[in-house]
Chains A and B, each alone.
Chain A
Amino acid sequence: VPNRVFRSSIAGRFDDYDGSGTQTRINWELRFARSGVGAIISAWCGVDRRGFIVPGYASIESDDRIPFWGELGKRVHERGCKYVLQLAHGGRQRDIGGIEFANGLSSTGKSDPLHGFPAERATPEQLRRVVTAFGAAAHRAREAGLDGVEIHGANGYLFTQFLSSAINDRDDDYGGSLENRARLLLDTVRAIRQQVGDDFHLQVKISVREDNDAFLFWLRDGNTVDESVQVCRWLEEAGADAIHVSAGTTFPHPLNPAGDLPLRDVRDNYDGLISSGSAAFRNYVLYRLPVVNRLMQKRWSRPRDEVEGMNLDESRTVKKAVSIPVLCTGGFQTASVVRKALTDGDCDAVTIARPLVANPNLLELWQAGHDRPPRPCTFSNKCLYNLLESPLGCYDESRFDSREEMLQEIYSVYESA
């Protein structure tokens, strides 16, 4: 990778309902490739249809998806940028599950506590099929000429649902001890290695700090950092080439993406989720009640100046324990902060999402001598909540001269380069 900055995974409902990719997705990715990031980690990319989290994200569930990813990889490579495909399975955490499957597979049969998304406890046979699906997906990524894959083992999706002691309630080979909880992920790493051979890049993203009780305080807190570090060691042994450090047992989570809880944007976009989970209507009503939502906001949000680099401690801990490169995510947009993290050995590279949505040319700005962009990302998290119903982009009007300018910027994704 030509430098130490990765575009982190960020989705946007730019693709077809069934997961076939579109020109708009290519436009979106090229925006970052052009501006000089060393590598792009793709959007959340489903390996199996039952595991999709929202319709309209490009998938890699079958061979007929290869031409799209091949074209995307080619165009990104033309700009000297690497491309890593994020292989993912949502488990029960399906914000909008779509018409095909009434519930998601999980370690548990319990619904998720925040929205009440329904779950079905996966049988060992179903889990073996999931592992096979990851292997086949990695093989397709290689066929498409991409530079590597990232297993999405973080942020509350399927692998977190197994790894986390706060969620996994199984008493078979996939639950109980840490070794058992890590089995699905480690089997997946091995299956991918078997499919793609030794000479294809495979990294794993993991929530090192879980804080499962960060919002719903009555829940258990989940894995300790020590446990996560142990999992990282096992991942290295099983053949992972790099670790990507994130946080939280759900997505979103107060730790990720950290910052504001923009309640108006949440409410206006959350309405479409009411039919997704048994607790979602209750949540929607709560979002409409001013007193309650101020309390929610207090518990969820984090001061904006405490966001950047908030995972660096955990990243450093992982880095000391493994001998493969470690990537760290979490609000990076200040050149000196990133430089210090690298020289201190906290991580080998940073991955950036929201600040790049705000300033796709962040690297050019750094190269031109800016320490921070003149109009930095505010961590308002409006990008995240608006993407359910509207095109992904920066929705913080305070960063623009006018609402029109903001809209123009958002719509520019529809122009082919």
Chain B
Amino acid sequence: VTNAAIFEPLRFRTFEVKNRVFRSSLAGRFNDYDGMGTQIHKNWDLKFARGGVGAIISSNAPVHPRGLIVPNYAHIDRDETVPFWRDLVQRVHEHDCKYIVQLAFSGRQRDLGGIQFEKGWSSTDKREPIHGLECERMTKAQIDELVRCFAQGARRAREAGADGIEVHGCNGYLITQFLSSAINDRQDEYGGSLENRARFALEVVRAIRAEVGPDYHLQFKITAVDYGKDLFPWWKKGTTLEESIQVCKWLEEAGVDAFHVSSGNSFPHPRNPAGGFPVEDVVRGYDTMISSGRHTFRNFLIFKTWPANKLFRWAWERAAKDQVEGINLGDTRAVKEAVSVPVLCTGGFQTATVVADAIERGDCDGVTIGRPLIANPNLVQLWQSGVDTPPKPCTYSNKCLINQLENPLGCYDESRFDSREEMVREILTVYDPPEFAG
């Protein structure tokens, strides 16, 4: 078995990535409350640049302060943020690694909404169903404003020297809230038919193109299938693969240079990040969200109480079963067959042969990796040295995700370490060097 396919450069329209491995978007609360980036965020991203990935897709970067998911992610919502991104991009480039900024807007899916805006904006005014997060239905004027915010975010990314941008169109955030037939309940030109539901996404893409010109990389991350019934079978199914493929075709016509395929119409979702539902960590980490939504106190009681928590865990883990690595390859292949631009796939990749086979089979052109790179930031180097799966692989426990609300992002699965102390030491390495290093 050879894994050579992983190390062949990937040619986009405007630049080339040295290999087929992307660090997928991963956000930790490393930044200032107002969204200004910090030295710590740079330390975080540089871990992966040093570890050999070909490109990094940034953390979820809100294009407007109302669109944050939780405070302390780095925003790209104002010109004052550009110097931070510029310095970060330059430092990443020193490692022969490309940098793509993920432009995002949470919509109603705001886990900790912060003090500035009481409600999120959405296609609908119905509460987000898991936590009961409140929202208001966007007016036409607000939609227009936000389209401009995405375009301005793209301009800032370009000014910062980033190699491209990714429009975050998936995982239940605002663009999904428009695309999804399970969420979008509008009667106007932004709801109803697929064409109408896709209008907002297409307007965003066209506005970005108009702002940054034709020679700048623009990729689109999309939920290929909503899988709306995965958690509770009485919920709506949502957008189908066929519908998403049609949307991708329209997006390609509008000027998209690549697609990034994910799944699920919420975040988190049983299929993304697929794997464990770590009840104990959830009880410790979810408490801080109780004041966020209408259902959060109820949820906290469920997570705290046996056997309700075991049932919830069963419902959650049932959807993905054991097929975490490459869970989206089937959907990705369907998208790739329908478009002529490169297609990236996310979902638990950490085995060299699995990745190489996927590329050779033509399921995708590259893979994006989140959790397994947290576990092993040097994953690409391990593969290069001939290792197929890292000696201490990611267990998909999802403890990284749950802990990041209150604690520094990192791997919290003690079973992967010799001791808890070793784990904590590893987590805290992100703070070295500090902002004032002398």
Please give the distance in Å from A248's CB to the nearest CB on chain B.
Answer: 26
Binding site for B on A (CB under 8 A): 16-18, 20-24, 55, 64, 66-68, 70-71, 96, 98-100, 267-269, 271-275, 281, 284, 288, 386, 389-391, 407, 410-411, 414
A99 and B407 in contact, given A64-B438, A66-B438, A268-B291 (Cβ under 8 angstroms) = yes
A-B contact pairs, 26 of them (CB 8 A): A16-B38, A16-B431, A17-B428, A20-B435, A20-B436, A21-B436, A22-B38, A22-B436, A64-B438, A99-B403, A100-B424, A271-B290, A271-B291, A272-B287, A272-B288, A272-B406, A275-B285, A275-B287, A390-B33, A390-B114, A390-B115, A391-B33, A391-B115, A411-B34, A414-B33, A414-B34
| CB neighbours of A96 from chain B (8 A) | 406
**Cross-chain contact A275 with B283 (CB below 8 angstroms):** yes
Please give the distance in Å from A280's CB to the nearest CB on chain B.
Answer: 8
A214 CA / B158 CA spacing, docked (Å): 59
**Cross-chain contact B112 with A389 (CB below 8 angstroms):** yes
Partner of A98, one of B38, B290, B407, B436: B407
Report if B36 contacts A (CB, 8 A).
yes
A17 and B408 in contact, given A64-B438, A389-B288 (Cβ under 8 angstroms) = yes
**Cross-chain contact A414 with B431 (CB below 8 angstroms):** no
A24 CA / B36 CA spacing, docked (Å): 10
Partner of B32, one of A21, A24, A273, A410: A24
Please give the distance in Å from A284's CB to the nearest CB on chain B.
Answer: 8
Residue of A nearest to B40 (CB): A16
Report if B2 contacts A (CB, 8 A).
no
Residue of A nearest to B412 (CB): A99
Report if B116 contacts A (CB, 8 A).
yes
* Contacts A68-B436, A389-B288 known; 9 new A-B pairs at CB < 8 A: A16-B40, A22-B38, A67-B436, A98-B407, A273-B287, A274-B287, A390-B33, A390-B114, A391-B33
| CB neighbours of B285 from chain A (8 A) | 275
A67 CA / B434 CA spacing, docked (Å): 10
Please give the distance in Å from A53's CB to the nearest CB on chain B.
Answer: 15
| CB neighbours of B434 from chain A (8 A) | 16, 20-21, 64, 68
A22 and B435 in contact, given A271-B287, A389-B112, A414-B34 (Cβ under 8 angstroms) = yes
A267 CA / B297 CA spacing, docked (Å): 12
**Cross-chain contact A99 with B36 (CB below 8 angstroms):** no
A414 and B424 in contact, given A17-B408, A66-B438 (Cβ under 8 angstroms) = no
A386 CA / B115 CA spacing, docked (Å): 10
**Cross-chain contact B435 with A267 (CB below 8 angstroms):** no
Residue of B nearest to A20 (CB): B434
| CB neighbours of A71 from chain B (8 A) | 436
Please give the distance in Å from B436's CB to the nearest CB on chain A.
Answer: 4
**Cross-chain contact B438 with A20 (CB below 8 angstroms):** no
| CB neighbours of B34 from chain A (8 A) | 391, 411, 414
Please give the distance in Å from A67's CB to the nearest CB on chain B.
Answer: 3
Partner of B36, one of A20, A55, A269, A414: A414
Please give the distance in Å from B132's CB to the nearest CB on chain A.
Answer: 14
Name the residue in A22, A70, A99, A269 with the highest tally of chain B Cβ atoms < 10 Å from its Cβ: A99
| CB neighbours of B424 from chain A (8 A) | 99-100
Residue of A nearest to B29 (CB): A17
| CB neighbours of A100 from chain B (8 A) | 424
**Cross-chain contact B115 with A410 (CB below 8 angstroms):** yes
B174-190 interface bits toward A, Cβ cutoff 8 Å, 1 = contact, 0 = none: 00000000000000000
Report if B437 contacts A (CB, 8 A).
yes
Please give the distance in Å from A268's CB to the nearest CB on chain B.
Answer: 4
Please give the distance in Å from A96's CB to the nearest CB on chain B.
Answer: 7
Residue of B nearest to A100 (CB): B424
A71 CA / B408 CA spacing, docked (Å): 26
| CB neighbours of B287 from chain A (8 A) | 271-275
Report if B10 contacts A (CB, 8 A).
no
A281 CA / B287 CA spacing, docked (Å): 9
**Cross-chain contact B38 with A99 (CB below 8 angstroms):** no
Partner of A67, one of B40, B114, B297, B437: B437
A70 CA / B436 CA spacing, docked (Å): 10
Please give the distance in Å from B33's CB to the nearest CB on chain A.
Answer: 5
Name the residue in B38, B403, B436 with the highest tally of chain A Cβ atoms < 10 Å from its Cβ: B436
Residue of B nearest to A18 (CB): B431
Please give the distance in Å from A369's CB to the nearest CB on chain B.
Answer: 35
| CB neighbours of A21 from chain B (8 A) | 434-436
A407 and B36 in contact, given A68-B434, A275-B283, A389-B288 (Cβ under 8 angstroms) = no
**Cross-chain contact B437 with A64 (CB below 8 angstroms):** yes
| CB neighbours of B115 from chain A (8 A) | 386, 390-391, 407, 410
Report if B212 contacts A (CB, 8 A).
no
**Cross-chain contact A23 with B290 (CB below 8 angstroms):** no
Partner of A99, one of B112, B290, B304, B427: B427
Please give the distance in Å from A264's CB to the nearest CB on chain B.
Answer: 10
| CB neighbours of B291 from chain A (8 A) | 267-269, 271
A70 CA / B33 CA spacing, docked (Å): 24
A98 CA / B285 CA spacing, docked (Å): 11
Residue of B nearest to A410 (CB): B115
Please give the distance in Å from A362's CB to the nearest CB on chain B.
Answer: 24
**Cross-chain contact A274 with B290 (CB below 8 angstroms):** yes
A257 CA / B89 CA spacing, docked (Å): 45
A17 and B407 in contact, given A271-B288, A389-B288, A411-B34 (Cβ under 8 angstroms) = yes
A100 CA / B431 CA spacing, docked (Å): 14
| CB neighbours of B288 from chain A (8 A) | 271-272, 389
Please give the distance in Å from A329's CB to the nearest CB on chain B.
Answer: 27
B392-428 interface bits toward A, Cβ cutoff 8 Å, 1 = contact, 0 = none: 0000000000010011100000000000000010011
A281 CA / B304 CA spacing, docked (Å): 11
| CB neighbours of A275 from chain B (8 A) | 283-285, 287
Please give the distance in Å from A267's CB to the nearest CB on chain B.
Answer: 7
Please give the distance in Å from A271's CB to the nearest CB on chain B.
Answer: 4
| CB neighbours of A17 from chain B (8 A) | 407-408, 428, 431
A414 CA / B431 CA spacing, docked (Å): 20
B133-158 interface bits toward A, Cβ cutoff 8 Å, 1 = contact, 0 = none: 00000000000000000000000000
| CB neighbours of B283 from chain A (8 A) | 275
Residue of B nearest to A414 (CB): B34
**Cross-chain contact B431 with A20 (CB below 8 angstroms):** yes
Residue of B nearest to A268 (CB): B291
Report if B302 contacts A (CB, 8 A).
no
| CB neighbours of A67 from chain B (8 A) | 436-438
| CB neighbours of B436 from chain A (8 A) | 20-22, 67-68, 71
B277-290 interface bits toward A, Cβ cutoff 8 Å, 1 = contact, 0 = none: 00000011101111
Please give the distance in Å from A386's CB to the nearest CB on chain B.
Answer: 8
Please give the distance in Å from A259's CB to the nearest CB on chain B.
Answer: 21
Please give the distance in Å from B248's CB to the nearest CB on chain A.
Answer: 39
Residue of B nearest to A288 (CB): B297
A275 CA / B34 CA spacing, docked (Å): 26
| CB neighbours of A414 from chain B (8 A) | 32-34, 36
Please give the distance in Å from B23's CB to the nearest CB on chain A.
Answer: 22
Please give the distance in Å from A136's CB to the nearest CB on chain B.
Answer: 17
Residue of A nearest to B284 (CB): A275
List of 3 A-B pairs having minimum Cβ-Cβ separation, nearest first:
A67-B438, A20-B434, A272-B288
Please give the distance in Å from B438's CB to the nearest CB on chain A.
Answer: 3
